Amino acid sequence: MKTISQLKSMALDQLKGNWYKVVVAALVYLAVTALTGTAGIFSFHIITFLIVGPLTYGFAEYFMKIKRKEPAALENLFDGFKRFIPSFLVCLLVGIFTLLWALLLIVPGIIASISYSQSYYILVDDPNISAMDAIKKSKEMMQGYKGQYFWLILSFIGWAILATLTGGIGYLWLVPYYKTTMVNFYDELKAIKATA
């Protein structure tokens, strides 16, 4: 597995020449997900599972295409609705499983969310896999790599603070940087597991 700095450096290289389009994609994604919280707590949960699941699938697919130098269009953000059932179920099941672990303690909840972190990428890569199998495969892939993933997330805290200080505008650049880095992590992990 490449180091955190290598994964982040690769992401910056992959984003060169793509910043305009990825910022627009981040804006659309953040705007739609923010709007899901405008109709009260109960509605938020329903809309989260019905909209955010498929949208998160599309967001993962979009940045996988950016990272892999494949044509990426804004419409790809909505590709999760073409696979509505599995993308909806991943969102629902990961939410339930993480909540159940978090009820025990905060740390088990964090560990669970890290274990399930690769589910959407797996779902995008395998058009025939079920939601539950994608979650199971994510857990298997993350065995032995949860610590590195956790430190990778923490490495963005400084950037998140700076983005917050801009009134949130900085997230339009931070989110693509973060997401592309995470796709690099997934592709590295996938390659490692394929040769194991």
Tens digits of residue pLDDT in 86-117: 998 888 888 777 777 666 677 777 888 899 99
Does residue 38 have a pLDDT over 70? no
pLDDT band per the 50, 70, 90 thresholds, residue 129: very high
Residue 2 CA to residue 11 CA, distance in Å, equals 12
Q: Which of 170, 150, 144 is nearest to 159 (CA)?
A: 170
Mean pLDDT of all residues in 118-136 = 94
What pLDDT is attached to residue 47? Answer: 66
Ramachandran category for residue 71: left, alpha or beta (phi over 0 → left; psi -120 to 50 → alpha): beta
Q: At what angle do helices 157-165 and 171-195 cross, to 10 degrees?
A: 160
pLDDT at 46: 66
Higher pLDDT, 38 or 37: 37
Q: Residue 80 in contact with residue 56, Cβ under 8 Å?
A: yes
- Would you say the pTM of this structure is higher than 0.85? yes
Mean pLDDT of the region 54-79? 94
Least confident of 48-52, 78-82, 163-167: 48-52
More confident residue, 58 or 196: 58
CA 72 to chain centre: 16
State how far the Cα of 20 lies from the Cα of 15, in Å rounded to an integer.
Answer: 9
Q: What is the mean pLDDT of residues 138-166?
A: 94
Q: How far is CA 179 from the centre of its chain?
A: 6
- pLDDT, residue 53, reads 87
- Among 25-29, 31-35, 145-149, whose mean pLDDT is lowest? 31-35
CA–CA gap between residue 114 and residue 95 (Å, rounded): 12
